């Protein structure tokens, strides 16, 4: 089975969910001739949202879906509008989350969701060897990609240096670090960096961190999923900020 392009949402449930969460993401709805039932519901919601609806031969949808069951509907999505990196630095939110070459879209979506839930002012991704914001990411983020600024940078290490110059302290999560996130006093301006699943932070990224923190593990597994680890650290930072009466975002 060949996967469909990342800018397509295939099938009734993914399309309906996107229409419910944020229909602006959808540019065009393709519907197979003769498709009925819930496909009609999709068409009605799309038209109410002002989305162009085009009827296509079922074989056309088969080709686009790459073998994934499309149930008569495929949505073409717009390119994601990334935030400007320099505008994000100038805005100087209290906390930024940087993902170092996270390639799994569901992990990135979960990271963005946790970032928005904890008041993070922006998420930063490298352009290379990192997944961008796709419909899969948006779905995993439960709509948070439309709520928190997400910027892409050419060089993550240079971005960290720029953040330091702007007054941020760079804090990295590293399973081998000796200092716990629960012992650390998070700074007022914090740039939290997390690494790719299974690989962690790259050496150059690690060397650019002012502090490296770990999460205590008391069971037999030796690590957490990157999105879970980030959520733990972000909520600890939020807890400390609220205890001091500081702004969280």
pLDDT digits (tens, 9 = 90+) for 144-180: 888 899 999 999 999 999 999 999 999 999 988 999 9
Q: Which residues contact 239 (CB under 8 A, 6 or more apart)?
A: none
66 torsion bin: left (phi>0), alpha (psi -120 to 50), beta (else): left
Scanning 70-209, the segments in alpha helix (DSSP H) are 85-91, 105-117, 135-140, 156-165, 203-207
Q: What single-letter DSSP state applies at residue 200?
A: B
Phi, psi of 220 (to 5 degrees): -90, -20
Strands 169-173 and 123-126: unpaired
Which tokens sit at 41? 């519901």
pLDDT > 60? residue 1: no
Mean pLDDT of 185-191: 96
Residue 6 — pLDDT band, cuts 50, 70, 90? Answer: low
* Region of poorest pLDDT, from 41-45, 61-65, 67-71, 113-117: 67-71
Lowest-confidence pick of 2-6, 100-104, 241-245: 2-6
Percentage of the chain lying above the pLDDT 70 cut: 96
**What pTM was estimated for this model as a whole?**
0.79
Single out the residue of 94, 92, 85 nearest to residue 158, CA to CA. Answer: 85
In the predicted structure, residue 61 carries a pLDDT above the cut 70: yes
3-state helix, strand, coil in the chain (%, to 5): 40, 20, 40
Residue with tokens 């295939």: 10
β-pairing, 73-77 vs 26-32, is antiparallel
pLDDT score, position 8: 85
For the segment 221-240, what is each residue's pLDDT rounded down to a tens digit?
777 889 999 999 999 999 99
Alpha carbon distance 192, 172 (integer Å): 6
Give the H or E element holding residue 98. Answer: strand 95-100
Q: Is the pLDDT of residue 39 over 70?
A: yes
pLDDT in tens, 42-53: 999 999 999 999
122 Cβ neighbours under 8 A, 6+ residues apart: 83, 88, 91, 93, 96, 97, 148, 149, 150, 151
Host H or E run for residue 170: strand 169-173
């Amino acid at each position: 089975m060949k996967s469909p392009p990342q800018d397509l949402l295939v099938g009734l449930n993914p399309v309906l969910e996107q229409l419910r969460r944020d229909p602006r993401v959808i540019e065009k709805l393709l519907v197979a001739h003769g498709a009925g039932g819930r496909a009609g519901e999709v068409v009605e919601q799309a038209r109410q949202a002002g989305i162009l609806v085009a009827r296509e031969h079922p074989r056309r949808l088969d080709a686009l879906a790459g073998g994934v069951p499309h149930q008569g509907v495929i949505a073409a999505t717009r390119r994601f509008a990334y935030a400007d990196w320099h505008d994000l630095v100038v805005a100087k939110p209290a906390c930024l989350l940087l993902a170092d070459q996270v390639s799994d879209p569901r992990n990135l979506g979960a990271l963005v969701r946790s970032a928005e839930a904890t008041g993070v002012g922006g998420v930063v991704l490298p352009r290379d060897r990192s997944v961008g914001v796709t419909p899969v990411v948006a779905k995993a983020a439960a709509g948070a990609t439309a709520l928190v600024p997400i910027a892409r940078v050419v060089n993550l290490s240079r971005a960290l240096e720029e953040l330091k110059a702007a007054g941020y302290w760079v804090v990295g999560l590293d399973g081998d670090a000796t200092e716990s996130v629960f012992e650390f006093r998070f700074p007022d301006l914090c740039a939290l960096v997390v690494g790719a699943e299974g690989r962690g932070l790259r050496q150059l990224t690690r060397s650019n961190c002012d502090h490296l923190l770990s999460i205590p593990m008391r069971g037999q597994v030796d690590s957490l999923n990157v999105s879970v680890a980030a959520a733990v650290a972000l909520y600890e930072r939020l807890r400390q900020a609220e205890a001091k009466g500081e702004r969280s975002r």
